[in-house]
Amino acid sequence: MQCEGDYFVLVICLSVAIIHAETSCDDCYKFPELFMLGSSTASYQIEGGWNEDGKGVNIWDTLTHDHPELIDDKSNGDIACDSYHKYKEDVQLLKDLGAQFYRFSISWSRILPNGRDNKVNLAGIDYYNRLIDELLANGIEPMVTMYHWDLPQPLQDLGGWPNFILSEYFEDYARVLFTNFGDRVKLWLTFNEPLTFMGGYSSDKDFAPAIKSPGIGDYLAAHTVIYAHSRVYHLYDQLFRTKQRGRVGIALNINWCEPATNSSEDVAACQRYHQFNLGMYAHPIFSTEGDYPAVVKDRIARNSAAQGYTVSRLPLFTPKQVEYIRGTADFLGVNFYTAYYGKAGEAGDSPSMARDTGVITIQDPAWGLSASSWLRVVPWGFRKELNWIAKEYGNPPVFVTENGFSDHGGLNDTGRVHYYTSYLTEMLKAIHEDGCSVIGYAAWSLMDNFEWNRGYTEKFGLYAVDFDDPDRPRTPKESAKLVAEIIRTRQIPERFRED
Ligand code: GBH
């Protein structure tokens, strides 16, 4: 591995080298020397300032304003945590945690109000400049997500992600970001969780833009997003990398799938689960052969034919595009929360991605509950998932870009404390005992925030936010103190160890 570049790039590169070299387990509860610990948020969930200083309207503004009934508490992100005004305080929270980096996202419509690059909103550029400078002044490395689901409404009016032209518009947006912030931002994520936001085009979950085209619109969206990602990577290579020396990745979410029985059908079902949910995005970029996974292409083509379609509902990449996309990431961002048991069987309507996947998922009632229906506490799934990724994609550098736990609030958040200690312990096993190249970890989330269709009913924060108070005061929870202790001591405290 060739390690060159500025300090931060060097840190990532060297930490991968060191982790590889650490074969014996001197102290499995310690973080490797160069491992990065921090926390993450997303623009729509925390910023507020939804129509301030020239920001344009995005699809979450539209969904929450036009269809408040789709949000559990009928709330929205108009003000949220008011981070648009309170970013200095947020940086202090990070500083109090001892965070080495902060993962935040940039609101596309704050930078380009209409989505296109002919009109740049200087107030938006200024806001992120101030945030980035404040972070750096406090010794905190910025990690920027370019897209965490808040598509400019004018681009949705053109069809949104199913329209392949958005791959070009996304590259134009990325050029503005690299140009304005790339001198100081060295760690980039193009997209957060394409798997989740392609759901906005299916859509049984009423996720913005709540278009109902399951098994069709969602695949078209995925197709555009993968290509858009690769365009941005090539753009960085061509115009910015030599000078800026940063790294470009993508954040993908995945649940562990544990075969419900050891039958070959259930084992294959969980492999399919991985290929449809993670492989759809990771295989074109991180595998040696590129393109969608064979099982994904085959099953969608077969089902499409049986449904009377002349061509598959999944668009195909040309051989030239396959080559263009392959290898376009410097690291893999992984958002990991929970696990399911998987069984072969029919799920979902026809057509739909669930039906194409052919896996029935269930959670064990014995697994610990959170406040979210989908999230149970399954720490061992984290270790298994990191191993699955290392094996499937040749042990790429993995940055855990999200991991966290929801409750209904309260400062004495013992459930979250247990979640973090147990998940981090399993991650450290994956690193020390299994040799997985995990180089960083971000706790989701720095503070309670707008949890999409769940509104403010589910809390993921290390800091509590009082949403009834116009000042939106933040208060550290027990988990914030724990994370601060972990970052300070760079190990799992003895009182939480298994032996
Ligand atoms: C992450 O997604 C997001 O990146 C982040 O913005 C979010 O705040 C965080 O998780 C916590 O949720 O409501 O039953 O239909 C994690 C993956 C995928 C989990 C969509 C919830 C919807 C389940 N998410 N899923 S349901």
* CATH code: domain of residue 384: 3.20.20.80
Q: Does the beta carbon of 319 lie inside 6 Å of ligand 1? A: no
How far apart are the CA of 1 and the centre of ligand 1, in A?
Answer: 35
- Say what the pLDDT of residue 10 is: 62
Residue 203: pLDDT band (50, 70, 90) is: confident
Residue 204: pLDDT band (50, 70, 90) is: confident
Report the residue among 335, 403, 406, 446 best suited for mutation to probe ligand 1: largest number of ligand atoms under 8 A from its CB.
335
Residue 5 has pLDDT above 90, yes or no: no
Please count the structural domains in the chain.
1
Cis omega (within 30 of 0) for bond into 351: yes
Asked if 213 and 201 touch (Cβ cutoff 8 Å), the reply is yes
Asked if residue 1 belongs to a domain, the reply is no
Asked if residue 158 belongs to a domain, the reply is yes
Ligand 1, atom 14, residue with closest C-alpha: 374
Beta strand pairing call for 376-377 and 368-369: antiparallel
Q: Does the beta carbon of 402 lie inside 6 Å of ligand 1? A: yes
Q: Does the beta carbon of 204 lie inside 6 Å of ligand 1? A: no
User: What's the mean pLDDT in 205-215?
Assistant: 96
Q: What is the pLDDT of residues 21-50, one digit of tens each?
A: 554 556 899 999 999 999 999 999 999 999
Q: What DSSP line would sit under 246-306, residue for residue?
A: -EEEEEEE--EEEESSSSHHHHHHHHHHHIIIIIHHHHHHHSSS-SS-HHHHHHHHHHHHH
Q: How far apart are CA 153 and CA 155, in angstroms?
A: 5
Q: Does the beta carbon of 363 lie inside 6 Å of ligand 1? A: no
Residue 205: pLDDT band (50, 70, 90) is: confident
User: What's the mean pLDDT in 61-70?
Assistant: 98
Type of residue found at 68: P
Task: Give the range of the structural domain holding residue 141, as residue numbers without chain letter.
Answer: 7-496
Residue 438 has pLDDT above 50, yes or no: yes
Q: Choose the catalytic residue: 258, 385, 402, 451.
A: 402
Q: Does the beta carbon of 150 lie inside 6 Å of ligand 1? A: no
- Say what the pLDDT of residue 161 is: 99
Asked if residue 2 belongs to a domain, the reply is no
- Say what the pLDDT of residue 159 is: 98
Helix (H, G, I), strand (E, B) or coil at 445: coil
How far apart are the CA of 2 and the centre of ligand 1, in A?
Answer: 36
Asked if residue 278 belongs to a domain, the reply is yes
How far apart are the CA of 43 and the centre of ligand 1, in A?
Answer: 15
Helix axis angle, 478-489 to 83-97, nearest 10°: 50
- What percent of the chain is predicted at pLDDT more than 90? 94
Which among 150, 147, 328 is positioned nearest to 251, based on CA atoms?
147
**Whole-number average pLDDT of the chain:** 96
Annotated active-site residue 426? The verdict is: no
Residue 341 has pLDDT above 70, yes or no: yes
How far apart are the CA of 108 and the centre of ligand 1, in A?
Answer: 20
Residue 284: pLDDT band (50, 70, 90) is: very high
How far apart are the CA of 330 and the centre of ligand 1, in A?
Answer: 25
Q: For residue 195, which atom of ligand 1 is closest to its CA?
A: 18
Asked if residue 48 belongs to a domain, the reply is yes
Q: Does the beta carbon of 451 lie inside 6 Å of ligand 1? A: yes
Residue 319 has pLDDT above 50, yes or no: yes
Residue 499 has pLDDT above 80, yes or no: no
Q: Does the beta carbon of 460 lie inside 6 Å of ligand 1? A: yes
Asked if residue 246 belongs to a domain, the reply is yes
Residue 335 has pLDDT above 50, yes or no: yes
Q: What is the pLDDT of residues 252-278, one digit of tens each?
A: 999 999 999 999 999 999 999 999 999
User: What's the mean pLDDT in 404-408?
Assistant: 99
- Say what the pLDDT of residue 19 is: 58
Q: How far apart are CA 174 and CA 172, in angstroms?
A: 5
User: What's the mean pLDDT in 359-370?
Assistant: 98
